[in-house]
Amino acid sequence: MTPISYRLLHALPGRLRLRVPALSEVGVGESLRYWLDAQDGVEDVRINRAARSLVVDYDPRQLAQARLLAWLDAFGPRAGASQMRDAPDDPSIAPLVRNVLTLLLLPLLPRPAQHVATYLNIGSKLLKGADTLIHEGVKVEVLDALAVGLSASRGKLYTANITDLLLTLGEYLEERTQQQSDRLLRRLLRPAPATAWVERDGQLVQIPGDQVLAGELLVVGVGETIPVDGRVVEGVAMVNQAAVTGEDMPIAREAPKRVVAGSVLVEGRLRIEATRVGDDTTTARVARFIQESLDKTSETQRMADELADTRVYLTLGSAGAVYALTRDLTRVQSVFLVDYSCALKLGTPVAFKSGLYQAANHGVLIKGGEAMERLAGIDTLVFDKTGTLTHSELEVTDVVVLDPRCGESEEVLLAMVASVEEHATHPLSQAVVEAARERDLQHISHGEVDYMVAHGLSARLDCCRILVGSRHYLEEHEGVRFESHEARIARLLDEGKTLLYVASERGPMGLIALRDTLREDAEETLRRLRTLGIERLVMISGDRQEKAEALGRTLRLDQVHGEVRPEEKAALIIALQREGRKVGFVGDGINDGPALVAADVGIAMSRGADLARASADIVLTDDRLIAVADAREIALGTMSIIRTNFNATVGINTAIMAGALLGWLSPVASALLHNGTTLGVLVHALRGARPAQREKAIEVE
C-alpha cells in the first residue's frame, strides 16, 4: 500500500484545505471521502477533482489537526471504502460569485462593455443549452438558454443577468440538496471498518481490516470481529457466525476449519490465514448493497422523469403559441422560465433518498426507491417464525431427570448444572444460570471446573463428577451413552428445542431443554402493521402444526402454516400471489433465500444469514421486529410526500404558466417563482417521512 501525497494549502481551526494529486484518479475521491467520513470528529468532506482540492471540516474539540493529517497519511488504495465510482464534484459557488460581480460592475461600465460582460457571464448557460439540444434534444436547459439569450439579445442586460443568477442559484441549491442526500445516506450506512492484528516481520501489528492481504496470518481474541474470510491454522474457539448462518449460536472452530468475515469470536483464541480479503468480504458486499440503494430507479421516479420531459414540450409549445398570438417576446421569455422538469425530476429521488436515510436512522436498510415503493404497496406479510417472531435468546423449558441417584429432583439437577455453568459464557450456560436464579436455587459447592472449548465442561461435586455438554462430547469423549433415553430425546427435539446433556461417571443424569423466546415487540409490531394497511398476517414454521397454531392464536395471525420444509416456503408465497395479493416476506435463514426472492418485497432480519440479506430488498440493521412496522410507515409516508410534491409542482407551475401567458409576470418574477417552487418541493422532500408512533414514544421518554 502506497500512501497518497498531499500539500496543505490552508488551515483554520476546524477546517483544512489540501491539494491531493491522486484525486484525478478514478475512484480515489469517493473512497477518500468515505475513509474520512468514517472517522470521529469529521463533519464534512468536499472534493473538487478538477482542482485536485480537498476541504475537510472537523470539530477541533474532538479532533486535532495532527490526528486528521495522520489519517490522511494512513489512507491508501485499500484503505477506503469498497471500490465505488466517484460521485460528481461538489457544486461550485464560482458561477454565483461571477453573476454577483457582473451585476455590481454593470453600472460602472460603458454600454459596449456591458454587453461583453453579460455575454461572458451567461455564456456557459448558452453553451450548455446548445450542447443539450444537440445531444439530448429539447430539455429544460434549452428553455433556460432561450430565456436568458432572448433578454440579452433585446438589450435587457440586467434582466438577463438577474435571470441567470436566479437559475444558477436554483441549480446550485438543487445539486447541493441532491448530493447531500446521497452523502448522508452513504455516511450513515457505511459499515464501521473492523481492525485486525496481523503478523508482520515477527510482530503483531494492528491495521484496518480492509488492508489485510491474502495469505497473511491474523490473531483474533475474545470479543473481536473476524475481518476476513480465512482458515484456522492454530487455536480452538467458539465463534458466533450469525452474520452468515443466521444462527446466533456459537460454534466450535479449530484447524483446519474455515471462518468468515463478520463473525465474532466469543471464547478462545484463533490464528487465521486470510483467504478472501477486500472486496470479497462481507463488509464490501454491504458497501455494494448501499450503492445499489442509490442506483435503483423506482417506477414512480421513471414516470416522473417521463412526465417532466413531456412538460418541457408543453412549455415550448405554449411559448410558441403566445408569440404567434401576441408577438410579445417578454411573455415568451416568462413562459420559457416556467418548467415542471426540475421539481418533478429532483423531488422524487430526493424524497426516496430522504426516506432511505430516515429508514436507516430507524434500523432499516432499504435497497432503493423501488423496494420502498413495493413495501408501501403490499397488503400481505408472511413471517418465518424462527429468528423473526422469536429471537435467539434462549430460555429453559424442561428439566428432565433420567437417573435420580445423584440428582433427586429437577431443582437439584438444575442447581448442580447452573453452579457449574456459571463459569462459562456460552448462551446455553447463561440461560441455565438465569433459570436457576429465577427459581431462587442455591449454589452447590464443587471443585475446579475443567472446560473443553466448544464441547462441554466437568466438575467434582460431593456426590459425583458431573459432566455437562453436547451429546457428541459426552458419548464420544466421555463414553456416556444415551440410547436408552432416545424416546424422550426425540420428543424434545421434535418440539424444536435445544438440548443440554448431563451425566456422571455412572451414566446419564438428565436433560435440560431450551428454546428461543417470543420477541417482546412481536404483538405490538403486528398490531401496528394492521393499522398501516396490512390486511393479512401469515406465519410459516417448521414446528408441528399444533404448536404453530398455538403461537398463531397468541399473535392473532390470519393464517399459520406448520411443518413447512425450507423448499416449500417460496411455493406458499407464490400461492398467495396467485390469489391477487401483494406479498412481503420476513425471514433470516439461508433457506429463506428463495422465499425472499419470490415475494414482492423481501425483508431480512439483522442477524439473518448472509445469503438472506443478499436476496432481500430490505435488511433490518437493528435486532428489532418493530423496525418492520417503522419501515412500512416510512414507505407510506415517502409515497405520500411524493404525491403531495407532484400535485404542488403541477398546480403551482400551472398557475405561474398562466400568469406568464397572460403577461402578468415578468421573466425575473417567473424565474423567481418557479425556482422558489422547486426549492420548496426539495425542502419538503428532504425532510423525509418519520414513523409518527416512534417519534411520540421518544418524546414521552
What cell does 210 get?
A: 480492509
Residue 385 DSSP symbol: I
- Residue appearing with cell numbers 428532504: 686
Partners of 206 in the β-ladder: 197
DSSP string over 128-167: HHHHHHHHT-S-HHHHHHHHHHHHHHTT-HHHHHHHHHHH
Single out the residue of 185, 289, 296, 246 nearest to residue 586, CA to CA.
246
In angstroms, rounded to a whole number, what is the distance separating the alpha carbons of residues 493 and 397?
12
CB 604 within 8 A of CB 244: no
Helix axes 299-326, 341-361, angle to 10 degrees: 160
In angstroms, rounded to a whole number, what is the distance separating the alpha carbons of residues 493 and 501?
13
CB 561 within 8 A of CB 572: yes
CB 473 within 8 A of CB 455: yes
What are the Cα distances from residue 243, in Å, to 249, 264, 283, 533, 609? 11, 9, 11, 32, 6
**Count of residues for the chain?**
701
Annotation says 309 is catalytic: no
The alpha-carbon radius of gyration of the chain (Å, integer) is 32
Residue 495 DSSP symbol: T
- Residue appearing with cell numbers 483464541: 269
Single out the residue of 28, 5, 27, 7 nearest to residue 17, CA to CA.
7
According to DSSP, the β-strands at 536-540 and 559-561 are: parallel
- Give φ, ψ of 537 to 5 degrees: -115, 125
In the three-class reduction of DSSP (H, G, I as helix; E, B as strand; rest coil), residue 537 is classed as strand
In the three-class reduction of DSSP (H, G, I as helix; E, B as strand; rest coil), residue 691 is classed as coil
Cis link prior to 91 (omega < 30° from 0)?
Answer: no
Single out the residue of 320, 324, 333, 212 nearest to residue 273, CA to CA.
212
Single out the residue of 459, 379, 382, 376 nearest to residue 424, CA to CA.
459
In angstroms, rounded to a whole number, what is the distance separating the alpha carbons of residues 624 and 258?
30
Cis link prior to 250 (omega < 30° from 0)?
Answer: no
Q: Is 600 exposed, middle or buried (0-12, 13-18, 19+ CB in 10 A)?
A: buried
CB 43 within 8 A of CB 57: yes
In angstroms, rounded to a whole number, what is the distance separating the alpha carbons of residues 514 and 446?
24
Q: Within 10 Å of residue 493's Cβ, how many Cβ atoms?
A: 12
Query: Which entry of 339, 384, 543, 588 is annotated as an active-site residue?
Result: 384
In angstroms, rounded to a whole number, what is the distance separating the alpha carbons of residues 51 and 1?
25
Catalytic residues: 384
